[in-house]
C-alpha cells in the first residue's frame, strides 16, 4: 500500500508513490490534459492528468467527479515548477469516498460576495475556506495560550455550573429554563461562583466556559451564547492590580499568536497583531466623557458611554497608537452590585478593557465586606434572600479580591478586525439564529 501524504509534506516526496486525500476543489479540462485541485487542511495539491497516459476510467472518474467530493488518489509525485508546492501528482488509482451533491449550498472558491447569513446557514461549507478556518485555528491557539498563562501564574482552572437558581448580571438577559418543574436560569457569567471560591483558599481561579445572555438586540457585538474567560484573585489592593494582570495575559496571548500562527495570519492578510510598546492607557470614565463630548456626542455625566461613545474613544486612542486601553472609575450606578464603590464619590473601583472602540472585558475590585455588599444589593433593588448561598461565603472570612471577564469571541473579533462577533463563533446563537 502506498504511504499517505498531504499538502504539508508532499513537496519532499518527489519520485515516490503516495496516496493523498481531500476535497476536489476544482477541475480544469484542457483537452489533452486535465487538472484536479485537491484541498486538504493546509493547502491544495495539483493532480495532473495527461489524457493519453491515464487509464480511461480513472481519467473519467477524476475529471467528472463533482466539486467538493471527498476522494483518495494514489499516484507518483513529480517535481513541477508550475505549482505552489513544487510538485504534482500523476494518478494511478482513485477512490471517490463521498460524492458531493449538486448544486453546492455555497461556493468555496468562488469570488462572489455572499451574505453572512447565507454563509452561517451552511457553516460547514463556509469553513472549508482557509480564511474562515484560520480564524478558528487562531482562536484555538488563543485558548491554549490563556491556559498556559493562567496556569503559569498560579491560577487554578475551575468549572462552575451553567444551570443556576439566580443570575448575577441583571434580570433582563436571563434565559429561563424548566428545571424538573422549577424555574432555573442559564449562567450569564461565573461571577457568583468565582467570588465564592475566593473564601476557600483557592485564591486564584480562572475559567473558560459558555455564558448565556438573552440579548434582545440584534447588533454586530452581541450573541446569546459566548465564551467567557474569567479570572478572580485574592489579596488585591486596588482594581489596578486586576488591570495589570489582564494586560500581562493579553500581551502574552498576542505575542504567542504572532509567534505560532504566522501561516493563519498570512492567510488573513496580516503580518502581526499590533500591540502598543507602552502600557495600555488607563482612562477614567470622566476623561472619556470629555473625549466624546469634544467629538460632538452629547452624553450627560453618569450616562453609559454606549456603542457610539466607545467607538469615539476608540478613534481617539487609535490616533495615539493604542488599540487596547482601559476605561476605569465608572459611575457606581452603571456597575453591578458586586463592584466596590469609591467612597465619597459617585464612582466605583471598576474598569472595562476596550479593543479598537469596543468593550471586550470588564472587571474590578469586589465588595468583600458583608454589610456593605448587602447594602449594595439593596440599593440595586435585589433581594438578598435570592443570593443566600453567595452571601454565606462572605460571612465567614472573605479576603479582598477582584477579577475580570473577557469575551473570547469579541477578543478574537477585534484582534483579527472581523466585522462582526459572529465571525469569531463557529455556530453563533442570536436573536434570530438557533441553528445550525
**In the complex, which residues of this chain contact ligand AMO (CB under 6 A)?**
169, 189, 191, 213, 215, 222-223, 226, 228, 230, 359-363, 403-407, 409-410, 421
Nearer Cβ to ligand AMO (59/212):
212
**63 Cβ partners below 8 Å, 6+ apart?**
27, 29, 34, 36, 49
Query: What value does the CA radius of gyration of the chain take, rounded to a whole number of Å?
Result: 27
Nearer Cβ to ligand AMO (200/219):
219
Q: What is the DSSP letter of 334?
A: G
Residue 424, all three cell numbers? 469569531
Residue 386 beta carbon to ligand AMO: minimum distance, rounded to whole angstroms? 17
Residue 370 beta carbon to ligand AMO: minimum distance, rounded to whole angstroms? 19
Residue 191 beta carbon to ligand AMO: minimum distance, rounded to whole angstroms? 4
Q: Measuring CA to CA, which residue among 224, 195, 158, 139 is closest to residue 404? A: 195
Nearer Cβ to ligand AMO (357/405):
405
Catalytic residues: 213, 215, 221-222, 359, 362, 410
Residue 87 beta carbon to ligand AMO: minimum distance, rounded to whole angstroms? 44
Q: Do 128 and 39 contact (CB within 8 A), yes or no? A: yes
Residue 137 beta carbon to ligand AMO: minimum distance, rounded to whole angstroms? 21
Nearer Cβ to ligand AMO (107/281):
281
Strands 176-179 and 163-164, by their bridges, are unpaired
Nearer Cβ to ligand AMO (55/417):
417
Nearer Cβ to ligand AMO (129/372):
372
> What span, in angstroms and rounded, lies between the C-alpha atoms of 130 and 151?
31
Residue with smallest beta-carbon separation from ligand AMO: 407
Residue 140 beta carbon to ligand AMO: minimum distance, rounded to whole angstroms? 19
Amino acid at each position: 500500500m502506498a504511504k499517505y501524504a498531504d499538502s504539508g509534506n508532499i513537496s519532499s516526496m518527489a519520485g515516490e508513490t503516495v496516496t493523498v486525500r481531500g476535497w476536489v476543489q476544482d477541475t480544469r479540462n484542457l483537452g489533452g490534459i486535465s487538472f484536479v485541485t485537491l484541498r486538504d487542511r493546509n493547502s491544495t495539491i495539483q493532480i495532473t492528468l495527461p489524457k493519453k497516459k491515464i487509464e480511461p476510467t480513472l481519467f473519467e472518474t477524476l475529471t467528472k467527479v463533482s466539486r467538493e467530493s471527498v476522494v483518495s488518489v494514489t499516484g507518483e509525485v513529480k517535481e513541477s515548477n508550475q505549482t505552489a508546492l513544487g510538485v504534482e501528482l500523476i494518478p494511478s488509482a482513485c477512490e471517490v469516498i463521498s460524492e458531493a451533491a449538486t448544486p453546492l449550498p455555497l461556493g468555496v472558491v468562488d469570488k462572489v460576495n455572499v451574505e453572512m447569513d447565507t454563509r452561517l446557514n451552511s457553516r460547514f461549507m463556509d469553513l472549508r475556506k482557509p480564511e474562515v478556518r484560520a480564524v478558528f485555528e487562531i482562536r484555538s491557539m488563543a485558548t491554549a495560550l490563556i491556559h498556559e498563562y493562567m496556569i503559569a501564574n498560579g491560577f487554578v482552572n475551575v468549572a462552575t455550573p451553567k444551570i443556576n437558581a439566580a443570575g448575577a448580571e441583571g434580570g433582563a438577559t436571563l434565559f429561563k429554563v424548566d428545571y424538573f418543574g422549577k424555574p432555573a436560569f442559564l449562567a450569564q457569567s461565573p461571577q457568583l461562583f468565582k467570588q465564592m471560591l475566593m473564601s476557600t483558599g483557592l485564591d486564584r481561579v480562572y475559567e473558560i466556559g459558555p455564558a448565556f445572555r438573552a440579548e434582545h438586540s440584534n447588533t454586530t457585538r452581541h450573541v446569546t451564547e459566548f465564551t467567557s474567560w474569567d479570572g478572580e484573585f485574592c489579596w488585591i489592593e486596588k482594581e489596578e492590580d486586576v488591570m495589570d494582570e489582564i494586560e500581562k495575559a493579553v500581551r502574552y496571548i498576542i505575542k504567542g499568536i504572532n509567534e505560532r500562527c504566522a501561516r493563519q495570519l498570512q492567510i488573513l492578510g496580516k503580518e502581526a497583531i499590533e500591540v502598543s510598546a507602552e502600557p495600555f492607557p488607563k482612562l477614567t470614565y470622566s476623561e472619556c466623557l470629555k473625549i466624546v463630548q469634544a467629538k460632538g456626542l452629547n452624553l450627560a455625566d453618569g450616562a453609559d458611554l454606549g456603542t457610539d461613545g466607545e467607538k469615539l474613544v476608540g478613534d481617539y486612542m487609535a490616533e495615539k497608537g493604542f488599540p487596547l486601553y482601559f476605561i476605569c472609575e465608572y459611575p457606581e450606578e452603571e456597575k453591578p452590585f458586586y463592584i466596590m464603590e469609591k467612597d465619597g464619590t459617585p464612582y466605583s473601583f471598576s474598569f472595562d478593557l476596550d479593543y479598537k472602540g469596543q468593550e471586550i472585558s470588564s472587571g474590578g475590585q469586589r465588595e468583600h465586606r458583608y454589610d456593605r455588599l448587602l447594602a449594595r444589593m439593596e440599593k440595586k433593588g435585589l433581594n438578598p434572600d435570592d443570593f443566600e448561598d453567595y452571601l454565606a461565603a462572605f460571612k465567614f472570612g472573605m479576603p479582598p479580591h477582584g477579577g475580570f471577564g473577557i469575551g473570547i469571541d469579541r477578543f478574537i473579533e477585534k484582534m483579527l478586525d472581523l466585522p462582526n462577533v459572529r465571525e469569531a463563533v463557529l455556530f453563533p446563537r442570536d436573536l434570530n439564529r438557533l441553528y445550525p
